[in-house]
Amino acid sequence: MPTKAKGIHRELWVGALFLTVIILLVVFGWLMGAIGPLQSHSRFYVLYNFAGGIEIGSPVRVAGVKVGKVSTIEFLPEVSQSAETSQERTSLKLTIDVSTKALPSVRQDSRFYVNMAGIIGEKYIEISPGTSSAPILTNGSTVRGVDPPRIDQLLSQGYGVFGRIMDFMDANEKTLTEFLTGMQELISDANTLLKGRERKKLVTLLDNLNAVTSDIHEFSLRLKNPETQKFYDQVFELVERAHQIDKPVIKQFLQEEGIRARIF
């Protein structure tokens, strides 16, 4: 009997320990947000072409506050199109659960970004709060997410551009060398010009240029003077009158005055 009672006592301790571990796991999951039996959620479906490292269980945040998680990730057929999001082809469908406490900030004009906590932190979905004038996004709605930038494609394109630049430099190495040599000589000449006697000549040249510019400016101001404008008008009138005097009129005038000119 003592042996049997001792075995039962040991089994009770093992069962209590196992139950304690289960309770601790549930509490830990509740604190971490993985388990929320007392919280109500709304479910949304977000469409992407590129998820950027999002996984099942990744957090969902609204204005930087964790309010849910990614429940499932589904691959869509390439021919699939979303009738609710301007008929744009997508390849991924993410199911996210968002706490109902955050629903007042999740509007129909909210944007669903793929963000990263820090430089090498975990990826999560960031929901930007919409405007107060837009309706609240209803449960079960399908929205189009904002695709994150493809760093791999940017690097690949950058390598391609860099390769073409290197090919151009290799093909025009002689021309580029001559150009750089000429630029070096030009800089050296300019440096010499700014030193010693050459510098004085340059300063004198700049002073003369400044004086000529000032004279031109003063002359242009005088041209706009009313008296100068009046003089121009008189000269113009005199020229017009001279054009009206023809050869027969001049000949008649000279004959009446008793002047004989064979040239007429």
Q: Poorest-confidence range of 39-43, 63-67, 86-90?
A: 86-90
How many Å separate Cα 237 from the centre of its chain? 63
pLDDT at residue 85 greater than cutoff 60:
no
Bridge-partner residues for 95, per DSSP?
Answer: 45, 72
Q: How many residues does the chain have?
A: 264
Parse the chain into domains and list their residue ranges.
36-149, 226-256
Q: What is the pLDDT of residue 45?
A: 93
pLDDT at residue 65 greater than cutoff 90:
no
Give 262's pLDDT tier (boundaries 50, 70, 90).
very low
pLDDT at residue 250 greater than cutoff 70:
no
Give 44's pLDDT tier (boundaries 50, 70, 90).
very high
Are 89 and 78 contacting, i.e. CB atoms less than 8 angstroms apart? yes
User: In terms of pLDDT, which residue wins out, 89 or 55?
Assistant: 55
Are 96 and 70 contacting, i.e. CB atoms less than 8 angstroms apart? yes
User: In terms of pLDDT, which residue wins out, 180 or 3?
Assistant: 180
* Residue partners of 4: CB distance under 8 A and separation at least 6: none
Question: Which pTM was predicted?
Answer: 0.48
How far is residue 58 from each of residues 100, 165, 248, measured CA to CA in Å?
A: 18, 41, 107
Q: Compute the average pLDDT of residues 194-217.
A: 76
Q: Compute the average pLDDT of residues 187-199.
A: 70
Q: What is the pLDDT of residue 31?
A: 59
Buried-state track 192-209, b at ≥16 Cβ within 10 A, e below 16: eeeeeeeeeeeeeeeeee
pLDDT at residue 18 greater than cutoff 90:
no
Tens-digit pLDDT profile for residues 89-119: 678 899 999 988 888 888 888 999 988 876 6
pLDDT at residue 4 greater than cutoff 60:
no
Q: What DSSP string runs through 144-211?
A: E-BPPP-HHHHHHHHHHHHHHHHHHHHHTHHHHHHHHHHHHHHHHHHHHHTSHHHHHHHHHHHHHHHH
